[in-house]
């Protein structure tokens, strides 16, 4: 019996993943743990997928509605999508099999701000939650649960669900205990109170989850790693984007808008985000803080070098090497890391108060600064907006980053009009591509268009964009935000029809 389960009553509920999955019924709503590949259940989702496949083979309907914190892994989203076991998914997904189901119209997908999901489930928009499946790193003698490598929405799922299945993963370091900060005061309106964080290092909650042991129907023991995917070495575009950003930070310090410690950083996931942290580590900046969702390799390096003095997050997304390094040295990060619930890590009130510098990836931006983070050619879901909107709208400075072209230059990431809007022109302060940085603050739409073309567009598309804008200045019905409506999405249509946005 695992030494991680110290509560006798819950110890008695240890069973196999297949036995635990038998508690989950067709048509029900399940809240699972998991955020950017960390802290998701490793065994029950796969056992559930097998159960679903067997039911389908017998000609029975079996699909669930699935909520998580954010993205998980092939063992979870992949297995359940492969079994065609998910009717509805929220709030974020990066798994290719699940993405294919969503884009084939087979799985409904609600793309929502990550800080919003728990409250909308509490408010009942998704109906009752039947089951919570949550990975923890230990169960205390008093039955309280030590979280694992992500906190996400687990507190809400444990409270909301009629029944709870726990996975106790002994791969997770026992030393994680004490790093978490689980906040229980998130009442629904009109009972809300100010959230008392005035510095990224402030602790306002407890280090563990409470659960009614009577609701726990199964405990499953696992010993399995998180989804630790390798990061590509930073490519030239990522490095160039990162260098533009660091140069801009210097400029803002010189202007007196940021002090030498800048302001707390939020950084999205992916290679560009890692490159930004790598450039910061090389820079003279020191003793910075992060108030962010996810700690990636780059942030761990920045904590090691002292570039960052501490980071507040809700989850990790580490390479195998970084995960091993972190797991065997968790104690070194005891005073440097706080892992919060995602309602708090992404809380708009805190983002505004702390004055976050929010840096997120995007698919495309338009001349006026509207940003599409999610929809490929306007209709196909990539991942979801994740936390980018939680941060961007309330950030002190919101940055959106992308290479200027995609698909070997066939797609311009600067377009006349975005094919889907996640972040409106009002929430986008700075656009950065490898070509340069467009500071849109204080500029009118027409002024923004000129800066975006000059600074961010790829040279192959600059003239095409200038031509559109010049003709819009002559042919647009209104001249506040000039557009040729019949042509504004023609670049996307051309790509769909010919495989390139380039004019012939
Ligand atoms: O596809 O690999 O098939 O070629 O989109 O593009 O350049 O590898 O960029 O990995 O940084 O992801 C916006 C998706 C960028 C990400 C997005 C194609 C491109 C490639 C990926 P291929 P890159 P990245 C905190 C914040 C929303 C969530 C968020 C994202 C693929 O940053 O999901 O910010 N953001 N969360 O070829 C069509 C375009 C394209 C395009 C790129 N304009 N049109 N395809 N691609 N630009 C984290 C969380 O919230 C959890």
Summarised one tens digit per residue, pLDDT across range 142-170 is 999 999 999 999 999 999 999 999 999 99
Ligand 1 atom, smallest distance to 415 CA? 43
Query: Residue 125 in contact with residue 93, Cβ under 8 Å?
Result: no
Measured from the CB, is residue 70 less than 6 Å from ligand 1? yes
Average pLDDT over residues 425-429: 98
Least confident of 183-187, 364-368, 410-414: 183-187
Residue 305's pLDDT band, with cuts at 50, 70 and 90, is very high
Ligand 1 atom, smallest distance to 376 CA? 38
Measured from the CB, is residue 69 less than 6 Å from ligand 1? no
Ligand 1 atom, smallest distance to 412 CA? 43
Measured from the CB, is residue 294 less than 6 Å from ligand 1? yes
Residue nearest ligand 1's atom 44 by CA: 376
The rounded distance, in Å, linking the Cα atoms of 386 and 389 is: 7
Tokens representing 27 are 């048509």
How far, in Å, from the CA of 388 to the mean position of ligand 1? Answer: 12
Measured from the CB, is residue 159 less than 6 Å from ligand 1? no
Give yes or no for residue 496 having a pLDDT over 70: yes
CB-hemisphere CA count at 13 Å for 244? 25
Peptide bond into 25 cis (omega under 30): no
CB atoms < 10 A from the CB of 443, how many? 17
Measured from the CB, is residue 381 less than 6 Å from ligand 1? no
Give yes or no for residue 1 having a pLDDT over 60: no
- Which residue among 270, 292, 313, 423 is best mutated to probe the pocket of ligand 1, counting the most ligand atoms within 8 A of its Cβ? 270
How far, in Å, from the CA of 361 to the mean position of ligand 1? Answer: 6
How far, in Å, from the CA of 301 to the mean position of ligand 1? Answer: 23
Query: Residue 214 in contact with residue 369, Cβ under 8 Å?
Result: no
ipTM: 0.98
- The per-residue pLDDT of the chain, averaged, comes to 97
**Residue 203 CB burial class (10 angstroms; 0-12, 13-18, ≥19):** middle
Give yes or no for residue 483 having a pLDDT over 80: yes
Average pLDDT over residues 1-14: 90
Measured from the CB, is residue 111 less than 6 Å from ligand 1? no
How far, in Å, from the CA of 362 to the mean position of ligand 1? Answer: 6
How far, in Å, from the CA of 401 to the mean position of ligand 1? Answer: 10
Give yes or no for residue 278 having a pLDDT over 90: yes
The rounded radius of gyration (Å) of the Cα atoms in the chain is 23
3-state secondary structure of 411: strand
Average pLDDT over residues 354-371: 98
- Phi/psi at 145 (5° precision): -110, 130
For 260, residues 6+ apart whose C-beta sits below 8 A from its C-beta are 253, 285
Measured from the CB, is residue 37 less than 6 Å from ligand 1? no
The rounded distance, in Å, linking the Cα atoms of 113 and 123 is: 15
pLDDT score at 63: 98
Average pLDDT over residues 315-320: 95
Give yes or no for residue 126 having a pLDDT over 50: yes
Measured from the CB, is residue 88 less than 6 Å from ligand 1? no
Percent of the chain scored above 90 by pLDDT? 96
Average pLDDT over residues 249-257: 97
- Phi/psi at 327 (5° precision): -60, -35
Measured from the CB, is residue 360 less than 6 Å from ligand 1? yes
In degrees, rounded to 5, the angle at the alpha carbon of residue 414 between the alpha carbons of residues 443 and 463 is 90
Residue nearest ligand 1's atom 3 by CA: 407
Return the H-helix or E-strand segment holding 366: strand 364-366
Positions annotated as catalytic residues are 293
Residue 2's pLDDT band, with cuts at 50, 70 and 90, is low
Peptide bond into 91 cis (omega under 30): yes
How far, in Å, from the CA of 372 to the mean position of ligand 1? Answer: 10
pLDDT score at 172: 97
């Amino acid at each position: 019996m695992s030494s991680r389960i110290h509560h006798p009553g819950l110890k008695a509920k240890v069973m196999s993943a297949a036995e635990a999955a038998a508690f989950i019924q067709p048509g029900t709503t399940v809240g699972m743990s998991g955020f950017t590949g960390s802290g998701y259940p490793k065994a029950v989702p796969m056992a559930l997928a097998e159960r679903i496949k067997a039911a389908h083979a017998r000609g029975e309907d079996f699909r669930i509605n699935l909520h998580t914190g954010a993205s998980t892994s092939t063992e979870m989203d992949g297995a359940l999508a492969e079994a065609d076991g998910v009717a509805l998914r929220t709030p974020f997904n990066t798994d290719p099999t699940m993405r294919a189901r969503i884009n084939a119209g087979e799985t409904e997908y609600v793309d929502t701000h990550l800080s919003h999901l728990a409250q909308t489930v509490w408010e009942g928009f998704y109906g009752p939650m039947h089951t919570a499946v949550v990975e923890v790193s230990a169960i205390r003698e008093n039955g309280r649960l030590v979280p694992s490598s992500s906190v996400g929405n687990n507190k809400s799922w444990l409270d909301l669900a009629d029944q709870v299945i726990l996975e106790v993963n002994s791969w997770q370091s026992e030393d994680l205990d004490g790093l978490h900060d689980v906040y229980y005061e998130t009442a629904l309106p009109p009972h809300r109170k100010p959230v008392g964080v005035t510095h990224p290092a402030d602790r306002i909650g407890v280090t563990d989850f409470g659960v009614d042991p009577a609701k726990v129907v199964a405990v499953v023991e696992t010993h399995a790693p998180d989804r630790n995917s390798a990061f590509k070495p930073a490519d030239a575009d990522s490095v160039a984007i990162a260098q533009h950003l660091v140069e801009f930070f210097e400029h803002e310090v010189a202007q007196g808008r940021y002090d030498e410690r800048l302001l707390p950083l939020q950084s999205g996931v992916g290679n560009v985000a890692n490159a930004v942290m790598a450039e910061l580590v090389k820079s003279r900046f020191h003793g910075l803080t992060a108030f962010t969702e996810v700690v990636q390799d780059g942030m761990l390096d920045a904590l090691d070098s002292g570039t960052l003095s501490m980071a507040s997050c809700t989850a990790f997304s580490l390479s195998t090497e970084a995960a091993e390094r972190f797991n065997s040295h968790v104690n070194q990060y005891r005073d440097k890391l706080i892992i919060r619930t995602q309602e708090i890590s992404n809380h708009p009130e805190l983002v505004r108060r702390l004055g976050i510098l929010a840096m997120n990836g995007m698919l495309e931006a338009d001349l006026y600064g509207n940003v599409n983070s999610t929809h490929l050619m306007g209709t196909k879901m990539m991942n979801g907006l994740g936390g980018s909107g939680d941060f961007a709208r309330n950030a002190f400075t919101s940055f959106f980053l992308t290479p200027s072209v995609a698909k070997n230059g066939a797609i311009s990431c600067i377009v006349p009009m975005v094919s889907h809007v996640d972040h409106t022109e009002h929430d986008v302060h700075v656009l950065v591509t490898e070509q340069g940085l467009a500071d849109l603050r204080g500029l009118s739409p027409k002024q923004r268009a000129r800066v975006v073309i000059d600074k961010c567009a790829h040279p192959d598309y600059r003239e095409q964009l200038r031509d559109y804008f010049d003709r819009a200045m002559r042919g647009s019905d209104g001249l506040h935000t000039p557009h040729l409506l019949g042509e504004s999405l023609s670049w996307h249509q051309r790509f769909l029809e010919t495989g390139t946005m380039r004019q012939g």
